[in-house]
């Protein structure tokens, strides 16, 4: 059921006339008349369905009355709230009706209507929250930092293993003269060379994985459906996953 704002206008006009009809201060009298004119134009827009223009007019009328400290300024809040409701601004309209119930006099018109509209709007908001689809997180996905950390750990392991390989190579070559080594030193040298090759693969492969992780930090968001793993072996490192 549509609440006709014109009936509120009539009441406000009578209240304003009674309040300042015998006022001695001409500027205040003029500003109240200005507020009444703003309200009348807003009411015309409302009845025509031009709710955005109506909202501007009601707000201007309220601002004028509130600046004067007029006791009936709060009555216009009902019109502002009702127009916001027509515009589909559910949360703003609810706040307006609640404000009207707090600031308007206890015997103000349309208190029951304001209470009813506020209850309906609260329920609308609840239903919208229930029906709203889950939203994906907009933060940084943990996949990138995890892969970068794994790559860094692999590279560090490769560097450590490279140090071990170098130490074993030095030990195995202890009996060598220039490039000539005794036959019993060959197994140790070959073992050290194998360790060195594995260390190189882990070091450079780990750095490559860490670089991929850094790139993913800037590319992926936390959508909840991203999976990835990183692994390295003697032949190199790979990153697998779904993005």
Rg, C-alpha atoms of the chain: 39
Q: Is the pLDDT of residue 226 over 60?
A: no
User: Which CATH number fits the domain 5-131, given the four candidates 3.30.1380.20, 1.25.40.10, 3.40.1410.10, 1.20.1250.20?
Assistant: 1.25.40.10
List the structure tokens of 25: 């201060």
Please state, in angstroms and rounded to a whole number, the distance separating the CA atoms of residues 134 and 184. Answer: 69
Q: Is the pLDDT of residue 2 over 60?
A: no
Q: Mean per-residue pLDDT for 158-183?
A: 74
pLDDT value at residue 181: 75
Asked whether the beta carbons of 196 and 211 are under 8 A apart, the reply is: no
- Its pTM stands at 0.51
pLDDT value at residue 63: 95
Q: What is the share, in percent, of the chain residues with pLDDT greater than 70? A: 67
pLDDT grade for 228, boundaries at 50, 70 and 90: low
Task: Give domain limits for the chain.
Answer: 5-131, 143-242
pLDDT, tens only, 141-156: 666 677 777 767 787 8
pLDDT grade for 23, boundaries at 50, 70 and 90: very low
Beta bridge partners of 241: 228
pLDDT value at residue 113: 94
Of 33-47, 73-87, 96-110, 176-190, where does mean pLDDT reach its minimum? 176-190
Q: What is the share, in percent, of the chain residues with pLDDT greater than 90? A: 34
List the structure tokens of 68: 């004067």
Q: Is the pLDDT of residue 26 over 60?
A: no
CA angle 57-62-68, nearest 5°? 135
Write b or e for each residue in 42-80: b if 16 or more Cβ atoms lie within 10 A of its Cβ, otherwise e. bbbbbeeeebebbbbbbbbbbebbeeeebebbbbbbbbb
195 or 98, which is more confident: 98
| Residue 181 half-sphere exposure toward CB, CA atoms < 13 A | 15
Single out the residue of 220, 240, 241, 221 nearest to residue 232, CA to CA. Answer: 240
């Amino acid at each position: 059921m549509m609440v006709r704002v014109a009936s509120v206008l009539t009441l406000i006009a009578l209240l304003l006339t009674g309040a300042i009809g015998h006022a001695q201060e001409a500027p205040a009298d003029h500003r109240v008349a200005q507020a009444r004119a703003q309200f009348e134009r807003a009411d015309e827009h409302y009845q025509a369905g031009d709710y955005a223009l109506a909202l501007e007019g009601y707000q201007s009328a309220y601002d004028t009355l509130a600046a004067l400290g007029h006791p009936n300024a709060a009555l216009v809040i009902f019109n502002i709230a009702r127009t916001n409701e027509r515009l589909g601004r559910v949360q703003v309209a609810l706040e307006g009706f609640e404000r009207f119930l707090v600031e308007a006099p206890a015997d103000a018109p349309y208190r029951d209507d304001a209470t009813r509209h506020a209850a309906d709007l609260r329920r609308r908001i609840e239903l919208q929250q229930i029906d709203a689809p889950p939203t994906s997180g907009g933060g940084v996905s943990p996949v990138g930092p995890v892969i970068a950390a794994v790559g860094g750990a692999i590279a560090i392991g490769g560097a450590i293993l490279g140090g071990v390989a170098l130490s074993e190579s030095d030990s195995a070559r202890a009996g060598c003269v220039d490039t000539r080594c005794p036959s019993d030193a060959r197994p140790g040298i070959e073992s050290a060379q194998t360790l060195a090759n594995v260390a190189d693969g882990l070091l450079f492969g780990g750095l490559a994985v860490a670089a991929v992780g850094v790139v993913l930090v800037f590319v992926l968001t936390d959508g909840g459906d991203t999976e990835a793993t990183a692994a390295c072996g003697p032949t190199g490192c790979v990153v697998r996953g779904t993005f």
